[in-house]
Amino acid sequence: MLEKRTPIRINQAVEKIMEHFIQGRTEEVSISECDQRFLGADILATNDVPLFTRSAFDGYALRAVDTVNASSNQPIELRIVEELGAGMVAAKEIGPFEATRIMTGTMVPKGCDAIIMLEAVKEVEKNGERYIVIKRKVNEGDHISFQGEEAKKGEVILKKGTKINPGVMAVLATFGYSKVRVAVKPKIGIFVTGSELLDVDEPLQEGKIRNSNSFMIASQIRRAGGEAVYFGKLPDVLDTCTNAVDAALKDVDMLITTGGVSVGDYDLMPEVYKELSGEVLFNKVAMRPGSVTTVAVLEGKFLFGLSGNPSASYVGFELFTRPVIRKMLFCENLHLREEVAQLNVDFPRANPLTRFVRSKMYFENGKLLVEPAGIDKSNVVMSLAHTDSLAVLPGRERGFQKGDQIQILLFDDEGGSFPWN
Amino acid sequence: MLEKRTPIRINQAVEKIMEHFIQGRTEEVSISECDQRFLGADILATNDVPLFTRSAFDGYALRAVDTVNASSNQPIELRIVEELGAGMVAAKEIGPFEATRIMTGTMVPKGCDAIIMLEAVKEVEKNGERYIVIKRKVNEGDHISFQGEEAKKGEVILKKGTKINPGVMAVLATFGYSKVRVAVKPKIGIFVTGSELLDVDEPLQEGKIRNSNSFMIASQIRRAGGEAVYFGKLPDVLDTCTNAVDAALKDVDMLITTGGVSVGDYDLMPEVYKELSGEVLFNKVAMRPGSVTTVAVLEGKFLFGLSGNPSASYVGFELFTRPVIRKMLFCENLHLREEVAQLNVDFPRANPLTRFVRSKMYFENGKLLVEPAGIDKSNVVMSLAHTDSLAVLPGRERGFQKGDQIQILLFDDEGGSFPWN
Answer yes or no: do A166 and B384 touch at CB < 8 A: yes
Report the percent of chain A where pLDDT is more than 70: 96
Q: Is B366 left (phi over 0), alpha (psi -120 to 50) or beta?
A: left
Give CA–CA dist A264/A246, Å, rounded: 24
Sign of the dihedral defined by the CA atoms of residues A250, A254, A256, A261, in that order = positive
SS (H, E, C) B346-371: CECCCECCEEEEEEEEEEECCEEEEE
Q: Do A174 and B366 touch (CB under 8 A)?
A: no
pLDDT value at residue A3: 61
pLDDT of residue B58: 87
For B23, other C-beta atoms within 10 Å of its C-beta total 8
Would you say B366 and B264 are in contact if contact means Cβ atoms under 8 Å apart? no
- Asked: is B29-47+156-183 a CATH 3.10.150.10 domain? The reply is no
User: Are the Cβ atoms of A170 and B342 closer than 8 angstroms?
Assistant: no
Instruction: Decide yes or no: CATH 1.10.260.40 for domain B10-25+185-328.
Output: no
Of the candidates B47, B146, B56, B165, which has an alpha carbon nearest to the alpha carbon of residue A384? B165
CB-CB: which of B166, B216, B367 is closest to A166? B216
Work out whether the CA dihedral B106, B109, B112, B118 comes out positive or negative. Answer: negative
The answer to whether the CB atoms of B170 and A220 lie below 8 A apart is no
The identity of residue B359, as a single letter, is S
Cis peptide bond prior to A270, omega within 30° of 0? no
Report the candidate in B320, B387, B397, B399 with the shortest Cα–Cα distance to residue B357: B387
Q: How far apart are CA A369 and CA A117, in angstroms?
A: 48
Asked if residue B389 lies in contact with residue B401, where contact means CB atoms within 8 angstroms, the answer is: no
Alpha carbons B283 and B291: distance in angstroms, whole number: 8
Q: Which of B219, B368, B387 to mutate to test the interface with A (most CBs of A within 10 A)?
A: B219
Please confirm whether the linkage preceding B394 is cis (ω < 30° from 0): no
- Radius of gyration (Cα) for chain A, nearest Å? 32
How close B276 gets to chain A, by Cα (Å)?
A: 31
Report the candidate in A383, A372, A382 with the shortest Cα–Cα distance to residue A408.
Answer: A372
Sign of CA dihedral B68, B69, B74, B78: negative
Domain ranges of chain B: 10-25+185-328, 29-47+156-183, 54-145, 337-410
B382·A150 Cβ contact <8 A: yes
Nearest to B323 by CA among B4, B114, B59, B18: B18
Contact A200 B176 (CB under 8 A): yes
Which of the four pLDDT bands, split at 50, 70 and 90, describes residue A271? confident
B143: left (phi over 0), alpha (psi -120 to 50) or beta: left
Q: Model confidence over A280-311: pLDDT tens digits?
A: 999 999 999 988 899 999 989 999 999 888 89
Cβ contacts (< 8 Å) between B219 and chain A: which residues?
35, 164-166, 169
In a mutational test of the B interface, the residue from A210, A318, A389 whose CB has the highest number of chain B CBs within 10 Å is A210
* B227/B328 Cα distance (integer angstroms): 12
pLDDT at A1: 44
- By C-alpha distance, the chain B residue nearest A152 is B377
Instruction: Kindly give, in sequence order, each residue whose CB lies less than 8 Å from that of residue A250, ignoring residues fewer than 6 positions away.
Output: none
Q: What local confidence, expressed as pLDDT, does residue A421 receive?
A: 55
Chain B residue numbers with beta carbons less than 8 Å from the beta carbon of A390 are: none
Closest CA to A170 of A181, A160, A159, A158: A158
**Nearest CA of chain B to the CA of A21: how many Å?**
28
Note the pLDDT of residue B2: 47
Chain A residues lying within 8 Å of B169, measured CB to CB = 212, 215-216, 218-219
How many CB atoms are closer than 10 A to CB B152?
14
> A173 vs B211: CB contact, 8 Å cut-off?
yes
Model pLDDT, residue B1: 44
Band (pLDDT 50/70/90 cuts) for residue A382 is confident
Give per-residue pLDDT as tens, B253-267: 999 999 876 554 456
Contacts of A171 in chain B (CB under 8 A): 212, 381-382, 384-385
Contacts B162 to A, Cβ<8 Å: 385
User: Which ranges of chain B have pLDDT less than 50?
Assistant: 1-2, 264-265, 377
Residue A209 pLDDT > 90? no
Residues of chain B with C-beta less than 8 angstroms from the C-beta of A204: 46-47, 51, 176
| Beta carbons of A366 and B365 less than 8 Å apart | no
CA distances to A165, B83, B273, B360, B374 from B344, in Å:
24, 65, 43, 10, 13
Closest CA to B233 of B261, B204, B213: B213
B42 DSSP 8-state letter: P
> Which candidate, B177, B50, B124, places its Cα nearest to that of A200?
B177
Contact B381, B212 (CB under 8 A): yes
Contact state of B207 with A87 under an 8 Å Cβ cutoff = yes
Cβ(A392)–Cβ(A408) under 8 Å?
Answer: yes
Cβ neighbours, 10 Å, residue A328: 25
For residue A70, the distance in angstroms to the closest alpha carbon of chain B comes to 26
CATH code linked to domain A10-25+184-328: 3.40.980.10
* DSSP states along A295-360: EEEETTEEEEEE-SSHHHHHHHIIIIIHHHHHHHTT-S--BPEEEEEEE-S-B-S-BSSEEEEEEE
Q: For position B376, what pLDDT does the model report? A: 52
Mean pLDDT of A144-170: 94
* Mutation target vs A (from B382, B412, B420; most A CBs, 10 A cutoff): B382
H-assigned helices in A128-201: 166-174
- Please list every residue in chain A whose beta carbon sits closer than 8 Å to the beta carbon of residue B377: 150-151
Residue B77's alpha-carbon distances to A41, B71, B84, B125, in angstroms, are 73, 11, 19, 11
Beta bridge partners of B354: B287
CA A393/CA A406 separation, integer angstroms = 7
User: Which of B227, B292, B226, B228 shows the shortest CA–CA distance to B258?
Assistant: B292
**Cβ atoms of B223 and B388 closer than 8 Å:** no
Inter-chain touch A384–B158, beta carbons under 8 Å: no
pLDDT above 70 for A270: yes
- Rounded-to-integer distance, Cα B177 and Cα A249, Å: 29
Residue of A164, A174, A379 with shortest CB distance to B49 = A379
Of residues B207 and A122, the one with the higher pLDDT is A122
Q: According to the model, what pLDDT value does residue B267 have? A: 64
Class assignment of domain A337-410?
Answer: mainly beta
Q: Is A324 exposed, middle or buried (0-12, 13-18, 19+ CB in 10 A)?
A: buried
Amino acid B421: pLDDT? 55
Chain A residues whose beta carbon lies within 8 Å of the beta carbon of residue B51: 204, 206
CB-based contact A176 B203, cutoff 8 Å: yes
Q: Give the residue among A22, A29, A27, A36 at the shortest CA–CA distance from A334.
A: A22
- Asked whether the beta carbons of residue B215 and residue A386 sit closer than 8 angstroms, the reply is no
- Which member of A173, A199, A215 has the closest CB to residue B210? A173
Give Cα A342 to chain centroid, integer Å.
24
Task: Write the CATH number of the domain with boundaries A29-46+156-183.
Answer: 3.90.105.10
Number of other residues whose CB lies within 10 A of the CB of residue B73:
6
**How far does the CA of residue A275 sit from the closest CA of chain B (Å)?**
30
Spatial separation of the C-alpha atoms in residues A308 and A271, rounded to whole Å: 17
| Angle subtended at Cα B290 by Cα B284 and Cα B292, rounded to the nearest 5 degrees | 30
How many whole angstroms separate alpha carbon B393 and alpha carbon B349?
A: 11
CATH topology of domain B54-145: Molybdopterin biosynthesis moeA protein; domain 3 (2.170.190)
Residue B416's nearest CA partner among B7, B12, B14, B9 is: B14
Q: Give dist(CA A317, CA B358) in Å, integer.
A: 33
Write b or e for each residue in A281-307: b if 16 or more Cβ atoms lie within 10 A of its Cβ, otherwise e: bbbbbbbbbbbbbbbbbbeebbbbbbb
Q: What is the DSSP letter of A61?
A: E
Q: How far apart are CA A107 and CA A88, in angstroms?
A: 8
CB B418, CB B335: distance < 8 Å: yes
- The β-bridge relationship of strands B354-364 and B287-288 is parallel
* Interatomic CA distance for residues A359 and A371, integer angstroms: 6
d(CA A283, CA A270): 9
Dihedral of alpha carbons A192, A193, A197, A198, sign: positive
pLDDT score of B98: 97
